[in-house]
Chains A and B, each alone.
Chain A
Amino acid sequence: MTDQEQHARFRLDEVIHAPVRFSIVAALAHVEEADFAAVRDAVQVSDSVLSKQVTLLERAGYVEVKKGYVGKRPRTWLKLTPVGEAAFNGHLQALRAIAGQ
């Protein structure tokens, strides 16, 4: 059976499908990069939950994590990788097919 013949639900990305991870990736898809705290506030999760989900996305190769300093303050920047972007676009296509759009 080819991808064309499969039901769209089989094309959903299981890493991105989780609600929190979907929110993280959807938010990062609109920016070049974003501060960890900005993503945490937008997604409305705790630091530890975001950290755990970002680690999973990083392990999947979907998100790049960059640590640095602004003055003396440590800052963590999150960025969607090209692989993550492609996976997210594929996931959206599958959702559109399911939604009948």
Chain B
Amino acid sequence: MNTIPSDSVDIPLPGDVTAAQARAALSQASSAQLVTPRDLRLLTGFVAGVGVIVGAILYLSWATLSVGNQGGFAISMSLYAAALALLLVIKSRARAIPRGFRRTYNIGFAVTMTAYCSGILWIFGHQSPWPSASVVIPMSIVTAVPCLIAAALVHRTARA
């Protein structure tokens, strides 16, 4: 057990704690809350946004490169980078990070990126003919879903 440094004895020592004071302290401890609804909006928006832009870049890679539009592909990659930078700014505005956020986000992001890489490899492994939009659009949605689920879990866990 640590002891109070001599220059900071600003309260009665623990020996005097009554049952009522202990109950009050326990109540305070369980109700202490730093994460605001604004923080939750920023963090869930960040996680969901990452999923959406990764799904979108999968679709845009196919939509541009399948018709030989290298310029369109470069523009879509630039927009992806700008959107990612914006999302990082949004995340940095959160003043408190709820417990479990990083783990949930990392898992969601890892699964989304696995789906993205698998999708890219599959699409570019089938170039003659290129897969149709009816295949690529669901693949893009599936790519975004893990991060969307992670965003929902962050929201639900933090509010619990």
What is A's interface to B at a CB cutoff of 8 Å? 9-15, 17-19, 22-23, 26-35, 37-39, 42, 52, 56, 59-60, 62, 70-71, 87, 92, 95-96, 98-101
Contact = CB atoms under 8 A, between A and B. Distances in A.
20 contacts: A10-B14, A11-B1, A14-B1, A14-B4, A14-B14, A17-B4, A23-B32, A29-B32, A30-B33, A30-B35, A34-B95, A35-B95, A38-B34, A42-B32, A52-B8, A56-B5, A96-B22, A98-B19, A99-B19, A100-B19
Closest 10 CB pairs of A and B: A12-B14, A38-B95, A98-B22, A99-B22, A34-B96, A26-B32, A35-B95, A26-B29, A95-B22, A32-B97
Interface of B: 1-5, 8, 10-11, 13-15, 17-19, 22-23, 25-26, 28-29, 32-36, 89, 92-93, 95-102
Contacts of B19: 98-100
Given A18-B10, A27-B34, A56-B8, A34 B1 contact: no
A32 B17 contact: no
Contacts of B99: 30-32
Most buried by A among B10, B28, B92, B96: B96
B4 A15 contact: yes
A18 B97 CA distance: 25
Contact of A92 (B17, B26, B35, B102): B26
Given A29-B29, A33-B96, A71-B89, 15 more contacts: A10-B14, A11-B1, A14-B13, A17-B11, A18-B10, A26-B28, A27-B33, A28-B34, A29-B32, A30-B34, A31-B99, A32-B100, A34-B95, A39-B34, A95-B25
B4 to A, nearest CB: 5
A22 B28 contact: yes
Contacts of A9: 14-15, 17
Contacts of A30: 32-35, 98-99
A40 B36 CA distance: 14
A70 B3 CA distance: 36
B33 A42 contact: yes
Contacts of A70: 92-93
Contacts of B15: 9
Contact of A15 (B2, B18, B28, B29): B2
